[in-house]
Amino acid sequence: MIAQPENICVEIQTSLTRSGLFADTEADLGNRWRISPEPYFLSSEDAEFFHQLGPKLLKFYSAWNKLYLESVKGTSPKWFAQYLDAGKPQELIEFGRMKRFRQTLPTILRPDVIVTEDGFAVTELDSVPGGFGLTAELMSLYKDPAWQIIGDAEGGIPSMFYNMAESLSKEEKPCIAIVVSDEAQDYRSEMQWLAAILKKQGFPVYTVHPREVQFREEGLFIQDEGKWLRVDVLYRFFELFDLKNIPKSELMMYAAKKGQVVTTPPYKTCLEEKLCFALFHHPALKANWEKALGSETFNILSHLIPETWALDSRPMPPYGVIPGLEIKGTPVQDWQELMGLTQKEREMVIKPSGFSPESWGSRGVVVGHDVSGEVWQETLTKGLQQFPDQTSILQKFYKGKRVPVSYLDRKSGQMETMQSRVRLTPYYFVVENTTHLAGILATLCPQNKKKIHGMADAVMMPCAIRNSR
């Protein structure tokens, strides 16, 4: 007997609620979304695209890091590093430049990929991503002989998370502490779920608050069932702009500096700025990027990454233009020219670049054609005024393709269909300089929403390929 879609949705919701990943009350909309009876299906060609994207993104991070270090040394344009370092505490900048951290890169890569009529657009990169615990649970709940969940072949997210951490440590069966700050509180339950799954499998993985970390001369320790365990790998689930509010952050950094613990992602503010896409598209840096990436990867990423500009308020000479930015075919010479754009002309996005509580999630994102002209002008003015202490970026808006999705309406108990737009967030885990695609989360929002992110009206599910019959 084939299960009814309504019943499948109820079972999925019940399991998510039991795991602490779904709120069963209307009061907590931050942990609540619409449930679909099926995963989001990709073609085999699309699935292959995502498998191939991982190595290219790792190359991008490596090239980004390389160009930054060259800029610091003065062997490539100095303004590359100056943009990335602007507004950061000097001691944190120097920490990230230390010899022992020079080549370290994030080990979980998560791009935001918009599904458009013409293919895919990679609008952001997140190196301290949330959502992979939730994606892992969803992958386990949507298993069915009719399809193959993408990422299962790699062992799934829990397995790849531990493999990633283990590859960073010199210890056999290392102890992993996922340290979640108050700022990242919304993700604590999924990190606790992930740690519990791995612990059941016999792996020493623990989700802790910064206050629970104890520093001793020989390193960092956490307590479990009355025993003190030395931490081998610290997964940093806290933002660098928030360090002053995180208990024991200086002690955690000291232990990393002394080589007593491996921390990932590394304390490198330069690799957590959205304006890297603006630097990528700058014509004066084209040869540098192409050399660092190789022509093939450079050309592919050039088509995937939207045109992006840093909101730099410094005056330009009369003959200067903002590279690639045009209004009605005329190059823009001054940001003030953007103030009076029509709704159609401002199909662009303004968002904080990084190192700010406004720069993660969708908090500081303003979509130009989704707001009034007055709000657009205020946002543009604020972004320019805050430079260089807090850099914002301007990015071309990519309109998502319309996709129908069915979901359970909780009030009526009936299945409904929604026209939506889709964001795909694949999770790549880096093990021994190789990326592994461990899962893809699909977030489908109502078509009238310009910002696609987890919300009460969204439908969220893992991605899969249909099995041939």
Task: Kindly give the confidence (pLDDT) of every residue in the chain, 469 residues in length, as a single tens digit, with 9 standing for 90 and above.
Answer: 567 999 999 999 999 999 999 987 665 545 789 999 999 999 999 999 999 999 999 999 999 999 999 999 999 999 999 999 999 999 999 999 999 999 999 999 999 999 999 999 999 999 899 999 999 999 999 999 999 999 988 889 999 999 999 999 988 899 999 999 999 998 999 999 999 999 999 999 999 999 999 999 999 999 999 999 999 999 999 999 999 999 999 999 999 999 999 999 999 999 999 999 999 999 999 999 999 999 999 999 999 999 999 999 999 999 999 999 999 999 999 999 999 999 999 999 999 999 988 877 677 899 999 999 999 999 999 999 999 999 999 999 999 999 999 999 988 999 999 999 999 999 999 999 999 999 999 999 999 988 888 888 999 999 999 997 6
Q: At what angle do helices 44-73 and 286-293 cross, to 10 degrees?
A: 120
- For residues 153 and 163, give the distance between their C-alpha atoms in angstroms, rounded to a whole number: 14
At 434 the three-state DSSP class reads: strand
Task: Give CA–CA dist 321/136, Å, rounded.
Answer: 47
Q: Where are the domains of the chain?
A: 169-264, 307-396
Question: What is the rounded distance in angstroms from the CA atom of residue 158 to the CA atom of residue 105?
Answer: 20
Query: Which stretches within 97-214 are classed as H helix?
Result: 132-141, 156-168, 188-200
Architecture of domain 169-264: 3-Layer(aba) Sandwich (3.40)
